[in-house]
Amino acid sequence: MKFNAIDTPRLDWSGDALAIGLFEEQVELTGDLAELDQKLGGTLAEVIAENEFKGKEGSSVAARVGGGSAIRKIIAIGLGKQDSLKLDGIRLAAGAAAKTAKSQKCKTLGISLPVFGDAGTTAQAIAEGVELALHKDSRFKSESEKSKESNGEIEQVDLLGFAGQDAAIALGQQIVEGVKLARELVNAPANTCTPVTMAETAQAIASEYGLEIEILEQADCEKLGMGAFLGVALASDLPPKFVHITYKPEGTPRRKLAIVGKGLTFDSGGLNIKVQGGIETMKMDMGGAAATFGAAKAIGLIKPDVEVHFISAITENMISGHAMHPGDILTASNGKTIEVNNTDAEGRLTLADALVFADKLGVDAIVDLATLTGACVVALGDDIAGLWSPDDAVANQLLAAGEKGGEKYWRMPLEDKYFEGLKALHADMKNTGPRAGGSITAALFLKQFVDKTPWAHLDIAGPVWTDKDKGYNPAGATGFAVRTLVNWVLG
């Protein structure tokens, strides 16, 4: 699919479908839109009236234009209230335009949307919205089903009024390449996405984009004392992989950052086995690692002036005669001991050793991200991720990066007295505390494995997946947090 940034007026554009954004309760056609409607034989006014289109956010209508017109289809996209418009509203509108045009079997699409902030930021958001909405992961379907879904592909998208914004469009496309990778990793079932194949994916990213990579095998992890990570890996027949990708810019980096993603390619719960209704979707428990690798791909394409370390301790949490038991005591690589009172709280154990590793790199800040707790989903729902940090600067950077990327976060409290619930009789701490405040105690647990580096924790358990199409996210994995991470690095 090719993007063109052009200055052609709406009146003069020609192609299969022209999509126009209209604000809520501002659908009366005036000025050049009235002229365009006249040129189209009144089709735009007619489709607005017939469908009682009000311009509400997420709404769209389309109509075929009569013969002889330079435009085959006209599409109206609702932008919502003008004073409530956000950058993600532009992204959503572009995605709606793309999906509508594809459903109408259009090959060329012209998009006319208002500028939000500045032209470059808007053009980038439009490109992201189109690419995200049209991405379809059909790898595991039969060839006949794949061919059905590939019908009506859009070949060209023109951004009207955005001439000169080619670099911004390219940046949006580069970021979306990372989102696509994250989606596909999370969508893949656990019999194809394993610790071994995840390490191979990391190696492929490093090779293609000239990044440094270090993959620690089990023996290497043992030498580093990663008892928490390796405790989780005990029951799996597949070897654990500790992945460390490094992007280094030419010259002196402006700053150095580390991103640590939880990488459980399948989580059975261990001996505290999950029940039906929860275990079926546990292929997605590596959503943090997927976003980390997606960000690595995007950063490899963009090549900013920031050094970035991408880290994931990857394994399965399985059941066998070798499995860790409830009550076992593990020793993490910083010497702290952990009593395992729930084998299904395994992600924080793998993150513990990964955070100790990242903390020793001498970076300016660390962010970890994980599908960590159901408690966070209970608190914030499916659309919003939790953010914990003792550092206001890092927290505010991530909130701003998420706002720009259209990904929602809510800063949660790190209530130190809640750590009392994690204290153990025979070890330094337990891996879970009381049910109340479960996502907070999970964050407090992770905090024990970062010494001096500014740090933030993102619990992305809710928004990493959607059961049905939602905006520019098709059903399945959303690739959540990739845009936030890339924006954070670039900020």
Question: What are the catalytic residues?
Answer: 274, 348
In this structure, what is the dihedral angle of CA atoms 17, 18, 22, 28, given to the nearest 10 degrees? -100
Contact (Cβ atoms closer than 8 angstroms) between residue 278 and residue 229: no
Closest to 57 (Cα-Cα) out of 35, 90, 98: 90
**Residues annotated in the binding site for Mn(2+), as ranges?**
262, 267, 285, 344, 346
**Residues annotated in the binding site, as ranges?**
262, 267, 285, 344, 346
Which structure tokens are listed for 391?
Answer: 């550092």
| Packing angle of the helix pair 287-302, 166-187 (nearest 10 deg) | 150
Strands (E), 7-148: 15-22, 60-64, 71-78, 108-112
222: Cβ contacts below 8 Å, ≥ 6 apart: 230
Which structure tokens are listed for 215?
Answer: 């993959």
Contact (Cβ atoms closer than 8 angstroms) between residue 442 and residue 379: no
Query: What is d(CA 442, CA 419) in angstroms, rounded to the nearest whole number?
Result: 9
- Nearest 5°: the CA angle 286, 287, 288 is 90
How do beta strands 329-331 and 60-64 pair?
unpaired
Which structure tokens are listed for 202?
Answer: 């990391």
Which DSSP letter does residue 19 get?
E
